[in-house]
Amino acid sequence: MSGKGSHRNKHYEKKNKVAVGEKAREALEQIDENSPIIKMFRQYAIELDDKHDRHERIVKLSRDITIESKRIIFLLHGSNVDLETKRDIILKEAAMRLEMLSKNFKSIATELKDMDAYQYLRAYTAGLQEYVEAVAFYQFLRFNELETWENLQEKFRFSKENDHPSQSEIVKLLFPATEFILGIADFTGELMRKCINSLGSGNIEDCFKICNIVKQIYIGFLGINPSNNRELKAKMYVLKQSLLKMENVCYNIKVRGSEVPKHMLAQIAIANTEQNEEIDEGFF
């Protein structure tokens, strides 16, 4: 009897329970659109939508920069050839494609005009670092040097035409030194690949040259305290591992270079390097 009564009471409560949708509808009908608070929140909604849309546009531009930069790096690895004419053609094409990327950066700089660029930095940091990596790799192959952060900043200054053709406005893209450092850290990974490729093609001198360059870069990175930057700490660890691989390759060349044919030297050196790799839990 008591069971039937409780069932009857639950049925009565469920029947007379007001749906949440009805309450929300009643609340919306009672809202005064002329209220200052409602107007304020309407404006907040417009600003948030505008911010999210701008963020998505910047992410898409950054994605295009990242993809094209990776393609340019892949192209530059093909410059490791004996024919000077083919190498020049590859370097000229890479320079042209790097120059074309400035249009994407100009679009990002235009989007961020009169905005707090630091709020959108994470939206294009991947493309920025990949671009720095591609530029550094190109300059190393073409001029055997690296451009400084100060000089590279000039590439992110763009002129924007106003309504009057005779007048132009300068827009600048935020390019922190941290992004440059992270891009250089990635660049050392490409140097490690070039070192291995040079060994495979029998160009042993380049292996030692590249290894010494990465060693100097690593020494420079040791002067940085990465404790407050997790991404920098991770990339410095990868940099150390790349340097160890190159040092092991150079060591095997010195020890076994005279007893192994050049066309087999790369395979043996890489195999010995992989056998000697150890897991290092520490940082330095």
Binding-site annotation, residues for Mg(2+): 133, 190
Distance CA 218, CA 214 (A): 6
Query: Nearest CA to 208 among 172, 251, 160, 168?
Result: 251
The two structure tokens encoding residue 74 = 């892949």
Give bridge partners of residue 169 from the DSSP assignment: 160
> Does residue 250 contact residue 265 with C-beta atoms inside 8 Å?
no
Q: Which residues of 99-137 are buried (b: 16+ CB within 10 A; e: fewer)?
A: eebeebbbbbbebbeeeebeebbebbbbbbbbbbbbbbb
Annotated binding site: 133, 190
Distance CA 78, CA 194 (A): 10
> Does residue 32 contact residue 38 with C-beta atoms inside 8 Å?
yes
Query: Nearest CA to 185 among 238, 131, 143, 225?
Result: 238
> Does residue 166 contact residue 49 with C-beta atoms inside 8 Å?
no
